[in-house]
Amino acid sequence: MGNTEARRKPRASSLILHEEDLHTVERQYNAMCAGQATISKRSFDITITSFVQFAEETLHSSEQQAKWLISFGQPLHTIVDCMVESFFICEEQGCCSSDRALLVDYLLVDGPQEPITYERVHQWLDNSMVFQMIVNRVFDAFLLGRRKKALPFLGEHHLLSASALCLIINYLPIACRYQWTPLYSSNERGLNFAKLSKAISGMGACLVVIESKSGRTFGGFANAGFVTGNMYRGDKSCFLFEDHHALAIYKATGLNENFAYLNCHNDTLPNGLGLGGHGQHWSFFIDAQCKKGLSAPHINTFENCWLAGEHEFEVKTLEVWRIGRDVRVRFDTLGNEIPLEEDDRSQTEQSSDDENTYL
């Protein structure tokens, strides 16, 4: 009897964690202690009680996470790099060292200055939604064993790096940031503007990703999508981004509404696809041959950027993703919306129900 009691592991209790999470924390602890009563280290023992207390204090608590990060006693760059590396391991996302370094540098741009204090780290965590996502994901995986991914799975072959994806999903509308559907890829359909227009016109919110022959990767999010015609669509929810050579998000300034533009067969207005700009001056614009594009700095629709790094660029690869559910609409030649027929509406709803969404 005495030996049985000695081998029995103590149970933990918690006033903060839900019962299910408490059991999960216990399972994680038991897996790490390999059947022993404690996790033995050279200078201390970690008991189930202390392990649960650690979980209570750190899960989704920026105050305690800040204290925990400082307790490492390492330079902030080292801490952030380790957290980013752990995040991509949890996500099972391949990320090359150069892209990971770009993400670390991006996170540290607004990071706390030396000397590192609790107040500075806590304020930084509260203001950095990208790093907060990374930290929460790592803690959830370590303490709760959760496999729920923070990033959507885009398949094996796409232009975006995992680092850029970390930024982009945090600027997408919350309701649809995990619903990605490929609408167009030049690797599959070639660089063909007619196919591009047909694939994306009226298909709802879109993310455009461009790879230039000069080695730049960039694009933008059009929250109202693209519709063929002479009108701009979208609002200040639109944004631009850079990837690979640099990592950045450029938000709308609110100075004008020259957002998503798609036109063809027009004698007086530009024919092509663009986001931010007009005439010959755009954040980015792809011509109606789908081979060449325009890009310029100081376009006041968005925060200052020069996406292509050159005024004229050649398109190497082009991708467009629908973000969110299928909300296909149709317009007449005057730009007026045509109500969907019942059969078309049912087909659209069925298509939306069949989509594989991130849960």
What 3-state class would DSSP assign to 103? helix
Q: What phi and psi, each to the nearest 5 degrees, are found at residue 313?
A: -130, 160
Q: How many angstroms separate the CA atoms of 28 and 147, rounded?
A: 13
Instruction: Tell which residue, 128, 136, 139, has the closest CA to residue 104.
Output: 128
CB 159 within 8 A of CB 98: no
Amino acid sitting at position 189: R
Q: What's the mean pLDDT in 148-153?
A: 91
Task: Summarize pLDDT for 15-71 with one digit per residue, the tens.
Answer: 444 555 555 545 544 554 445 554 444 444 444 444 444 455 556 678 888 888 888
Confidence at residue 27, expressed as pLDDT on a 0 to 100 scale: 54
Q: What phi and psi, each to the nearest 5 degrees, are found at residue 251?
A: -85, 160
Task: Summarize pLDDT for 234-271 with one digit per residue, the tens.
Answer: 999 999 999 999 999 999 999 999 999 999 988 889 99
Q: How many angstroms separate the CA atoms of 143 and 25, rounded?
A: 6
Confidence at residue 285, expressed as pLDDT on a 0 to 100 scale: 98
Q: How many angstroms separate the CA atoms of 202 and 35, rounded?
A: 58
Q: What phi and psi, each to the nearest 5 degrees, are found at residue 333?
A: -65, -15
Q: How many angstroms separate the CA atoms of 163 and 140, rounded?
A: 20
**133: pLDDT strictly greater than 60:** yes
**96: pLDDT strictly greater than 90:** no
Q: Helices marked H in 190-250 — which ranges?
A: 193-200
**345: pLDDT strictly greater than 50:** no
Q: How many angstroms separate the CA atoms of 228 and 198, rounded?
A: 9
- Pick 113 or 45 by higher pLDDT: 113
Q: How many angstroms separate the CA atoms of 4 and 207, rounded?
A: 61
Name the pLDDT band for 327 (thresholds 50, 70, 90): confident
What does the domain layout of the chain look like in residue ranges?
16-144, 175-354
Contacts of 3 (CB under 8 A, 6+ apart): none
Q: What's the mean pLDDT in 319-334?
A: 78
For the chain, percent of residues with pLDDT exceeding 90 = 56
Q: What phi and psi, each to the nearest 5 degrees, are found at residue 46?
A: -100, 115
**73: pLDDT strictly greater than 90:** no
**338: pLDDT strictly greater than 50:** yes
Q: Which range (74-78, 245-249, 307-311, 327-331) has the least confidence?
A: 327-331
**142: pLDDT strictly greater than 70:** yes
* The model's pTM: 0.80
- The secondary structure of residue 336, as a DSSP letter, is P
- Pick 18 or 97 by higher pLDDT: 97
Confidence at residue 180, expressed as pLDDT on a 0 to 100 scale: 97
Confidence at residue 295, expressed as pLDDT on a 0 to 100 scale: 98
Name the pLDDT band for 278 (thresholds 50, 70, 90): very high
Confidence at residue 326, expressed as pLDDT on a 0 to 100 scale: 80
Name the pLDDT band for 226 (thresholds 50, 70, 90): very high
Q: What radius of gyration, in Å, describes the C-alpha atoms of the chain?
A: 25
Cβ neighbours of 188 (radius 10 Å): 10
Name the pLDDT band for 157 (thresholds 50, 70, 90): confident
Confidence at residue 8, expressed as pLDDT on a 0 to 100 scale: 43
Sign of torsion over alpha carbons 76, 78, 81, 82: negative
Q: What's the mean pLDDT in 185-204?
A: 95
**300: pLDDT strictly greater than 50:** yes
Q: How many angstroms separate the CA atoms of 261 and 234, rounded?
A: 9
Q: How far is CA 17 from CA 12, 105, 143, in A?
A: 11, 34, 12
Q: How many angstroms separate the CA atoms of 277 and 119, rounded?
A: 41
